[in-house]
Amino acid sequence: MRTFSDALLELAAPHLAVTAERLERHHSALAGQPFERDLARGTGRVGDRDVRVGVLGSYAENRTFQWFWAAGVRPGSPGAEHAERLRALGEEHGVPELTEPLLDLGAFYDPRAAADDLAVMALGLLGAAGVLRHGHGGRALTFIVTDGLALPDGPSDAAAVYLRGGAALLGVHDRERLGAAMLRGYADHHGLACRDDGGETVVELPGGALAGAGPDGKLTAEGDATSYPRVIELDVPAPLPGPLLEHLAPAVACGFDGEFGIYDHLREKGWDRRNYDWDPGAGLLRFGDALELQAHEVGVLRPNGVWEWTGDAAETRSALTRLGAEWLAADRVDLGDHPRQPHVAELLARSAAHLGGARALWQVTDGDGEHHLAVTDPGTPRSSEDGMMAAIETAASVVQQLVLRQDRYPVMRAMVLGLFERAGLVPLYVGEPELLMGNMGLNQLRVYFSADGTVDNVTFGLMGGAFG
């Protein structure tokens, strides 16, 4: 689908301005408060207040949205209540987005933002307090709703702001046809006077101001501010400093690019990449007769979760000290309790390898732990276009788990440009912040970003196809 169905928009439109208003109040209620949830039980706490919570569904890296009731949960489970209510609404009103288990959002201009819009419309239909999202691995998202949180319910003095917010959301899809319905829905919810004035729907707002929606759906409301309905994203646990990640994230992408180049070469030779021999004394990584590479160890992740620097990583350890993560520069770093242990280890190892001049990173696992090898051989195979695309997507999924949302775009941008530089691609910036392009002859590598700074898609093709 490229847009939402008329059935969904018509059902959701009367609730959109109310939802924009409620979301802002919900965000204010959560600000600075710890938020705990037990999704299996359908319960949560905001500060010292108990709330009900439920899972709407999840957005996957392949740009699909799956409703929670379709995720193999037992019907009637507490956490599935809200999603099941939406399914019943969809069946009653013939709304395909609410009854199909898996929605392909890939044709939307910003599929990840479309998932947010879907969650906001779902919130309005449910009449719940708020909706939030959190990462659940890689760049995937889980959407949850809160209910039972006491919020102010009267019309706001900033009502015009929320009316414009609802219209902005609807404008992406069908404001001209449904703007008046949105306005009437807000008036009905708050008991405001609403009249038809020569084909224009007019509502009297608190304080005597007027808001109207004409036959063309264009909203007239005093002021310029707009509160676009937004979904709060819960921050990743134990994030690393943004400036540090801007400096090190390119190494993650470049490390995967080199690794995938080795994969490509071994595949062409018909060799199983799992069949290798590491000779630390000789500093050689051997894949039978298919490939032999010079390498050295930079670090080991022990079975107990302790990271040990075992090779030269002076530049990386200096950056860690300089940019706010000195604890990671110690000779031995206990990552045992870190919620993102594998991702931190990937960052450390790939940074040490790349900043030390290596072409790739390889991992060897034995009883002593996971040994990370910097592959320095000048004959290391280069990756294909598919390998470069996979390197960006894989690196983005690692880095996403370590970065705050507010730092995400500059970090991901630096990561992509670092790979462009390694591969000799000429960057083009005209599509920013939605798009970064790297030219290679007549071809172009294109990296698409969501509005929240996430790498959402990577493509390769002839120049000029970015906006087709």
pLDDT tens-digit series, residues 357-377: 999 999 999 999 999 999 999
Q: What is the rounded average pLDDT of the residues 193-205?
A: 79
Task: Identify whether 433 is preceded by a cis peptide bond (ω within 30 of 0).
Answer: yes
Tokens standing for 338? 């870190």
Q: What is the rounded average pLDDT of the residues 168-179?
A: 72
Whether the per-residue pLDDT at 225 is higher than 70: the answer is no
How far is residue 130's CA from residue 32's CA, in Å, rounded to a whole number? 16
How far is residue 149's CA from residue 127's CA, in Å, rounded to a whole number? 12
pLDDT of residue 35: 84
What confidence tens digit (pLDDT) does each residue in 292-347 have?
999 999 999 999 999 999 999 999 999 999 999 999 999 999 999 999 999 999 99
pLDDT of residue 208: 62
How far is residue 60's CA from residue 105's CA, in Å, rounded to a whole number? 10
Tokens standing for 192? 């405001």
The mean pLDDT value of the chain amounts to 91
pLDDT of residue 42: 85
pLDDT of residue 30: 83
Q: Which residue has the higher pLDDT, 408 or 45?
A: 408
pLDDT of residue 175: 63
pTM of the model: 0.91
How far is residue 20's CA from residue 226's CA, in Å, rounded to a whole number? 10
Whether the per-residue pLDDT at 200 is higher than 80: the answer is no
| pLDDT band (50, 70, 90) for residue 219 | low
Whether the per-residue pLDDT at 205 is higher than 90: the answer is no
| pLDDT band (50, 70, 90) for residue 227 | low
What confidence tens digit (pLDDT) does each residue in 41-70 have?
888 888 888 888 899 999 999 999 999 999
pLDDT of residue 465: 66
Whether the per-residue pLDDT at 148 is higher than 90: the answer is no
What confidence tens digit (pLDDT) does each residue in 68-88 have?
999 988 888 888 999 999 999
CB of 135 closer than 8 Å to CB of 141: yes
Whether the per-residue pLDDT at 218 is higher than 70: the answer is no
Q: What is the rounded average pLDDT of the residues 255-261?
A: 97
